[in-house]
Amino acid sequence: MGNKIKIGNVEIELNGKPFVLGVDTFDGTDWLYDEMFETDEEAITFAKSKGGTMLKVHAYNKDGQHIGSGGTF
């Protein structure tokens, strides 16, 4: 079992892999995407492809550090 961290309203158990969170800047909801990423670059590419207007998507490395994002407020 990994360490748990909280980002926004989402609690994440770090499992040694990068992960991606979505944030709806209109209604304030946030969520963890279910996709699994092997590399930081995969997570960043996914975040950039899923982000949009009023939808920010943030990529984090295996340690929970922010590494990139997509979308605009």
- Burial code of 18-42, b = ≥16 C-beta within 10 A, e = fewer? bbbbbbeeeeeebebbeeebeebeb
**pTM of the prediction?**
0.92
* CA nearest neighbour of 20 among 68, 54, 71: 68
CA distances for 38 relative to 9, 24, 27, angstroms: 24, 25, 31
CA distances for 15 relative to 48, 64, 73, angstroms: 22, 10, 30
Q: How confident is the model at residue 2 (pLDDT cuts 50, 70, 90)?
A: low
Q: If you average pLDDT over residues 5-25, what whole number do you get? A: 94
pLDDT the model gives residue 12: 93
Which tens digit of pLDDT belongs to each residue from 19-32? 999 999 999 999 99
